[in-house]
Amino acid sequence: MEKIIKVNSGGREYPLREEIRKCSCWTEFNITDKDLEFLDMVSPVYKGIKYTIPAPTLCPKCRHQRRLAWRNERKLYKRTCDTTWKNIISVFSPDKPYPVYSSDEWWSDRWNPLDYGPADGIDFSRPFFEQMNELINIVPKLAIVNFNSENSDYTNISADNKDCYLIVESSNNENSFYSYWLQLSKDTIDSAYVNNSALCYECTSIDNSYNLKYCHRCMDCKDSYFLNDSEWCSYCFACQDLQWKKFHIFNKEVTEAEYIAFVDKFQNWTKEQKEDIAIKTAFFFESKWPREPRIKMSENCSWDYIIGSKDCIDVIDANDAENCRHSTDVWRNARDVMDGNTCGRNAAKCYEVTNCAVDVQNMLFCAMNWINQTDSTYCFYCANSSNLFWCVGLHSPHSYCILNKQYTKEEYEDLVPKIIEHMKKTWEWWEFFPASISPFGYNETVAMEYYPIERRDAINRVSTDGRTIFNWSDYENPKPDVSKIIPASKLPENIKDIPEDILNWAIECDRTKRPYRIIKAELDFYRRQSLPIPKLHPDERHIDRMKLRNPKKL
């Protein structure tokens, strides 16, 4: 069904053609002229013929969910490298059947991914997703995505970090722990979406700020507690919606002496008193739920958490991005992205991708591709290469490869159109990888965070050809080898009463009973900042923080 709508831009109305489609989940969704223009722009050309990518068949939510089923962000495991047999940290659990290499081994020239291509080449009698699944299962996997970092072994989908621990989707940070999407920040713990800031604790959506605790949606602020939706403020406690203010408590101005006395007293409050303050400020904060979209210094943008961007429509979490659509986490000079999750650091012309970043361009239907990767279609875990189709694990410079087999430029440009025509017949050409061939269980991926399902629903949900739509992992990490396990509720409230020996213990989460550890740098931070030991597992703290943001659902 097609209709004409009127869009207001700059005080003028102009007609926009819009097609309404119905997804397999029975949700109606729109395809606009702008969507089709984008698809035409990124459609590949071979020997002068453009192979147009048709409009999506699934709604934005289902497309988003399908891509996220290929992203394990937070489930880390200990296993052995399948070449050196040394212990490593990996996103692939040890019960997975495919080979996994440490970062040093995977990036080395001691193995050749072209050795894993099928001897007989392309099989035009079978669907290509079936052939891709076979290749994914045999090509060695990179244990964890962690580039150019120092003393930051437990960081995933991250780069250029120093002395960091359990941070995800983060770049160019120092001395930061248990956080999600940190950029250019230092000394930050238990936070999410913090950019160019330092000394933040339990914060979300913070930009250009310093020394904030329990603050949310703030820019250019410093030295504050429980501050929400504010800009250019300092020395504020439990305040909301302020600009250019100083020395405020509960949105009321006080003298500098009164403020210092109040904060000093707060440091000595009991747990119950501090929780009471947290509850009161959270109630005030949540009373405006859902939050108004946070769009700052941007032009012609819609949805939420957008800063310094232009022409970003139906986008969540954009920072320095332009011409992006139906996407999340587009940042640091991302340009021309549609249906993308995590595209940044000069990513351009990407469609239906997840985690394509650091100088990549012309990427179609790809997952986990980075660093100077260009002109690639249906690729998984590739880098430093160009002109690839259906490839896995090509990490050193390669060009004109299909299913991990080398071809000449002429052979490649002859074969790819034939593959596309075959994929049209099998209804694969315009679709992202199905979740059924993801190397992760659905419950291991970030899809579970935004679109939770029960195990029985995952394993019983099948496609029209009888295949299970989602995988599921039943693997559980072993309990930590520690001198003792102590319930979090038994820990002293005052950080001064916490013994050094806690570094040898495991703490039992108050909510889930899952054990977790405290590391030395973390303990030092709590002592310097007079903060109590957390009573919840890091995953639970992450879930609670994300609930303070508008849902990341397209």
Tell me the pTM.
0.91
Predicted pLDDT at 293: 86
Indicate whether 219 belongs to any domain. Answer: yes
Predicted pLDDT at 268: 77
The answer to whether 87 and 374 have CB atoms below 8 angstroms apart is no
Whether residue 177 is found in the same domain as residue 279: yes
Whether residue 177 is found in the same domain as residue 282: yes
Whether the ω angle into residue 290 lies within 30 degrees of 0, i.e. cis, is yes
Given a cut of 50, whether residue 5 has pLDDT beyond it is: no
> Rounded to 5 degrees, what are φ and ψ at 179?
-135, 165
**Per-residue DSSP letter, 516:** E
Indicate whether 349 belongs to any domain. Answer: no
Whether residue 192 is found in the same domain as residue 275: yes
The answer to whether 233 and 255 have CB atoms below 8 angstroms apart is no
CA-wise closest residue to 366 among 433, 415, 413: 433
Model confidence at 90, in pLDDT bands (50, 70, 90)? very high
Determine the Cα–Cα distance for residues 123 and 378; give it in Å rounded to an integer.
16
Counting the structural domains of the chain, the total is 4
Whether residue 51 is found in the same domain as residue 88: no
Indicate whether 390 belongs to any domain. Answer: no
Whether residue 229 is found in the same domain as residue 257: yes
For 523-552, write each residue's pLDDT tens digit: 999 999 999 999 999 999 999 999 888 887
The answer to whether 81 and 100 have CB atoms below 8 angstroms apart is yes
Determine the Cα–Cα distance for residues 50 and 288; give it in Å rounded to an integer.
49
What does each C-alpha distance from 347 to 69, 136, 373 come to in angstroms?
A: 21, 24, 10
Whether residue 16 is found in the same domain as residue 110: no
For 80-89, write each residue's pLDDT tens digit: 999 999 999 9
Across the range 34-43, mean pLDDT stands at 97
For 287-331, write each residue's pLDDT tens digit: 555 567 889 999 999 999 999 999 999 999 999 999 999 999 999
Indicate whether 250 belongs to any domain. Answer: yes
Whether residue 47 is found in the same domain as residue 90: no
Predicted pLDDT at 11: 38
For 439-449, write each residue's pLDDT tens digit: 999 999 999 99
Indicate whether 524 belongs to any domain. Answer: yes
Whether residue 192 is found in the same domain as residue 246: yes
**Per-residue DSSP letter, 11:** T
Indicate whether 348 belongs to any domain. Answer: no
- Per DSSP, the three-state class of 152 is coil
Indicate whether 193 belongs to any domain. Answer: yes
Burial of 69 (0-12, 13-18, 19+ CB in 10 A): buried
- Residue at a domain's end among 286, 319, 339: 286
Whether residue 233 is found in the same domain as residue 263: yes
Indicate whether 376 belongs to any domain. Answer: no
The answer to whether 303 and 314 have CB atoms below 8 angstroms apart is yes
- Per DSSP, the three-state class of 92 is coil
Whether residue 40 is found in the same domain as residue 136: no
Q: Nearest 5°: CA angle at 320, between 317 and 322? A: 90
409-425 and 128-138 are packed helices; what angle lies between their axes, rounded to 10 degrees? 120
Given a cut of 50, whether residue 25 has pLDDT beyond it is: yes
- Residue at a domain's end among 63, 89, 114: 63
Q: Name which residue leads in pLDDT, 491 or 276.
A: 491
Given a cut of 70, whether residue 464 has pLDDT beyond it is: no
- Residue 109's domain comprises 77-146+432-452
Whether residue 176 is found in the same domain as residue 260: yes
Alpha-helical (H) ranges within 69-195 are 103-106, 128-138
Across the range 111-125, mean pLDDT stands at 95
Predicted pLDDT at 290: 57
Q: Under 8 Å CB-to-CB from 193, ≥6 apart: which residues?
A: 180, 181, 204, 205, 206, 305, 317, 549
The answer to whether 52 and 38 have CB atoms below 8 angstroms apart is no
Across the range 470-499, mean pLDDT stands at 92
First to last CA, the chain: 22
Predicted pLDDT at 271: 66
Q: Name which residue leads in pLDDT, 212 or 288.
A: 212
Predicted pLDDT at 9: 35
Identify any residues that bridge with 32 across adjacent strands, giving them in sequence order. 18
Predicted pLDDT at 467: 63
Predicted pLDDT at 267: 81
Maximum separation of any 2 CA atoms in the chain, in Å? 79
- Residue at a domain's end among 242, 262, 286: 286
Predicted pLDDT at 459: 81
Whether residue 203 is found in the same domain as residue 267: yes
Mean pLDDT value across the chain: 92
Determine the Cα–Cα distance for residues 165 and 457; give it in Å rounded to an integer.
34
